[in-house]
A = this chain, B = another copy of it.
Amino acid sequence: MSVILVNGSPDDRVSALDRGFSYGDGVFRTMRAQGGQVRCWGLHHAKLAHDCFRIGIACPPEETFRADIETLLAQQPDCVVKIVVTRGQGGRGYAPPSDPMPLRMVASFPLPAFSGDRARNGVRVRWCQTQVSVQPVLAGIKHLNRLENVMARREWSGDDIAEGLMLDPCGRVIEGTMSNVFILEAARLITPALTEAGVAGVQRDRLLQLAHRLGLSCSIEAITPARLLASEQIYLTNSIIGLWWVAAMEDRDWPVHPITHALVELLALPCDE
């Protein structure tokens, strides 16, 4: 099922004293591999390095990840690839060791079954009660402290609901439990700022950069629940799903917007790296 490399060697375990396990002291990425290539690897690596920098972890060099990924994809060319980088082992106590040895885990997982249908037919989403917490020091980073996403995701079960949307303490829409959110309003794509809360995904960046090709302008603005529900279409992005459009939320239904399939295809383009 999964193949796992820890610091480059096949292994399915990590130290019980690793600070990733003790404190969630690390970052991660989840990517899609197709035909033996990780999609948008350059963007993912840049984000990984940036996230490591922000929390003060020395990110291993790009070529070590590339070698790990090559090993995995030789066995499973189409899969989900996950990378975790932690601050490595440490004793008790929050103070990082003076000379930390970061740990890297690179693993492959089977592709989820859902991708095709949901991208075509749209998805049903719901609100989460669990809020996204505000933490400017960590906002935007895909770090390992994801218990609030877990709590939000526990709010429902079953396949009928594809995603839950989360609000910040001021009641503004920030993201889905596993995706970034955009709304379409009169040829404009709008997505919330993630400078105070949330995770800034690679596909969010890409959509912000590519949307002009479809004649759409993009802006980063606050989105209230009312504004979201009144929009012409809601989109969710991440590197595994690509782009999903929301067909139903609460008592509202949306038909597929004329531009939606072009947006799906836009994010499915190869990354220029």
Residues of chain B with a CB closer than 8 A to A15's CB: 12-14
Asked whether A2 is an interface residue with its Cβ less than 8 Å from the other chain, the reply is: yes
Q: Are B148 and A25 in contact (CB under 8 A)?
A: no
Query: With A94-B149, A145-B147 in contact, is A16–B4 under 8 Å at CB?
Result: yes
Query: With A145-B146, A147-B145 in contact, is A96–B22 under 8 Å at CB?
Result: no
Asked whether A119 is an interface residue with its Cβ less than 8 Å from the other chain, the reply is: no
Asked whether A138 is an interface residue with its Cβ less than 8 Å from the other chain, the reply is: yes
Q: Which residue of the partner chain B has the closest CB to A27?
A: B147
Asked whether A144 is an interface residue with its Cβ less than 8 Å from the other chain, the reply is: yes
Report how far A25 CA is from B130 CA in the complex, Å: 15
- Give the interface SS of chain A, mostly helix, strand, loop or mixed: loop
Q: Are A130 and B134 in contact (CB under 8 A)?
A: no
Q: Which chain A residues (159-195) contact chain B, with CB distance < 8 Å?
A: 169, 177-178
Q: Are B16 and A16 in contact (CB under 8 A)?
A: no
- Contact size class for A? 35 or more
Q: Are A96 and B55 in contact (CB under 8 A)?
A: no
Asked whether A205 is an interface residue with its Cβ less than 8 Å from the other chain, the reply is: no
Query: With A82-B92, A94-B153, A134-B169 in contact, is A146–B25 under 8 Å at CB?
Result: yes
For A23, give its contact among B30, B144, B169 (CB under 8 Å).
B144
Report how far A6 CA is from B21 CA in the complex, Å: 13
Residues of chain B with a CB closer than 8 A to A95's CB: 153-154, 157
Q: Are A24 and B133 in contact (CB under 8 A)?
A: no
Asked whether A91 is an interface residue with its Cβ less than 8 Å from the other chain, the reply is: yes
Q: Are A146 and B16 in contact (CB under 8 A)?
A: no
Having A22-B146, A24-B144, one finds 10 other A-B pairs with CB under 8 Å, namely A2-B17, A16-B105, A22-B84, A25-B150, A94-B153, A95-B153, A96-B150, A138-B148, A138-B151, A145-B146
